[in-house]
Amino acid sequence: MRFLYIPLALILSFSSALYALDTPTGRTILTVTGAIKTTNSDQGAIFDMAMLNALPRHSVATHNLWTEGLNTYEGFAAADLLKLLGNKGNVLQVTALNDYMTEIPVSDFIEQGAIFATHQNGKRMSVRNLGPMMVIYPFDSNENVRSDIYYSRSIWQIKHIKSIITTE
């Protein structure tokens, strides 16, 4: 009978890992709201830099319009973040510090290889350097994203993400 507790404990620990989200200890960098299941505050799911850095890392090396030369951007994949939050939405409304807002389909992060970059050339991106977070597409390696649509989706100084469900 005692052995029956072991699988139950495993299931519980798995479900808690699925839905549990730490509380940020540092300055809040990102707030995620909308069609998500997991939150850690009244505002929604809030993250500090340490929490974001804990997500699996991905990198993209590319040129872009706003910086000089070839830069290597490192950050996390939206898929990992959204999986962590139990996302149901298919479009992300991403807002910058200056309140500029753009909509990015979740598929862009899967099909086009976009990431949320937090580091540029190994250094954390400051607000002055378009940080703390920036959506970056692989402009050099994927010619499909060299268009106004994707340039307008390359939002920087991100502070808020809202997951929404669209019918289209």
Partner 1 sequence: MRLSWKRTWLINLNKWFIYTVFTLLICLCTALLGFIAYIGDTSHNNDRRVFESSVWNALQLQVQSYRFINYFSSLDSSSAVTHDDISFEYELLMSRIDLLRKGEIGELIREFDDARIIKLLNVINGELELVSFDIAKIEEGDNSYIEKLLVRMNRIEPNINELISLINKDNTEYINTKFLEHQTNLTTIEVLSGILATCLLLLCFFSMKALSELRAAFVINKRLQSGIETIHENKTNMTTHVLHEMRHPINAILAATKALRNKDEASPLTKAELPNHIEESGQQLLNTVNMFSDLSEINIQKLSLSPYLEHLRNRVETYIDTLEHQLARKNLLCSVYVDPSLPTYVSLDFNRVKAIVIGLVQNAISHTVKGSICIQIRPSSLTTPLLSGPMQEDRITRGSDTRMLQIAVKDTGLGMPSQLQNDLRTMPSLRRKEDEDILDKVGLNLSLCFKLVELMKGEIQFTSVEGEGSEFWVDIPYNLPEKQPEQPTQLKLSNTRALIIEEDQQLREVIAQQLAIFDINTSLSSECTGHNNQQYDLIILGRTDCYEGDLLEAINQWHTEATPIINYQSKVFKGIEAALTPITFPLLQSKLEETLTHLFKHKIAE
| Chain residues that interact with partner 1, rule: CB under 8 A | 27, 64-68, 97-98, 100, 126-130, 146, 148, 151, 157
* Closest CB to partner 1 among residues 109, 139: 139
* Closest CB to partner 1 among residues 88, 123: 123
DSSP at 46: E
Q: How far is CA 161 from the centre of its chain?
A: 8
Amino acid at 9: A
- For the bound state, the minimum distance from the C-beta of residue 65 to partner 1, rounded and expressed in Å, comes to 5
- For the bound state, the minimum distance from the C-beta of residue 166 to partner 1, rounded and expressed in Å, comes to 26
- For the bound state, the minimum distance from the C-beta of residue 68 to partner 1, rounded and expressed in Å, comes to 6
Q: Considering only CA atoms, give the Rg of the chain.
A: 17
Q: How far is CA 23 from CA 31, 42, 164, in A?
A: 12, 12, 23
Distance CA 65, CA 43 (A): 34
User: How would you label 83-92 residue by residue, b for 16+ Cβ within 10 Å and e otherwise?
Assistant: ebbbbebebb
* Closest CB to partner 1 among residues 85, 96: 96
* Closest CB to partner 1 among residues 82, 155: 155
DSSP at 168: -
DSSP at 44: B
* Closest CB to partner 1 among residues 143, 168: 143
- For the bound state, the minimum distance from the C-beta of residue 119 to partner 1, rounded and expressed in Å, comes to 16
- For the bound state, the minimum distance from the C-beta of residue 96 to partner 1, rounded and expressed in Å, comes to 10
